Amino acid sequence: MKKLPSDWRERCTPFQQKVYEALLAIPKGQVRTYGEIARKIGKPKGARAVGQALKRNPYPPTIPCHRVIAAGGDLRGYSAAGGLKRKRQLLQREGVQC
């Protein structure tokens, strides 16, 4: 994967920065839910806002938004090129069963 530009944080809102930093902490081969990310950044009712931040992710898959799934285990949206098919491929490449 590509390396993030040194100024990537300047291109994001403070909320997006928190979300993206939480994503960067998810180990390869693991997933988290939108709600787990929201709780991790101190916004326990912010799962939908997390989803909106992921939708605006300027650096997929370097900022690994593909590692975030719905609470029920569904893959849900992936707005980067290739959509859900690409999300599934990325996760399977990392060893995630989906």
Distance of alpha carbon 68 from alpha carbon 23, whole angstroms: 8
Does residue 98 lie in a domain region? no
Record the pTM.
Answer: 0.92
Q: Which of the residues are catalytic? A: 65
What's the structural domain count of the chain?
A: 1
Does residue 34 lie in a domain region? yes
Does residue 89 lie in a domain region? yes
Range of the structural domain that residue 63 is part of: 12-93
Q: What is the pLDDT of residue 98?
A: 86
Q: What is the pLDDT of residue 1?
A: 60
CATH number at residue 52: 1.10.10.10
Does residue 3 lie in a domain region? no
Does residue 7 lie in a domain region? no
Mean pLDDT of each 10-residue bin along the chain, 98 residues long: 87 97 97 98 98 94 96 90 94 95
Q: Which long-range contacts (CB under 8 A, 24 or more apart) does 52-57 make?
A: 53/15, 53/16, 53/19, 53/20, 54/19, 54/23, 54/79, 55/79, 56/16, 57/20
Q: What is the pLDDT of residue 81?
A: 87
Does residue 65 lie in a domain region? yes
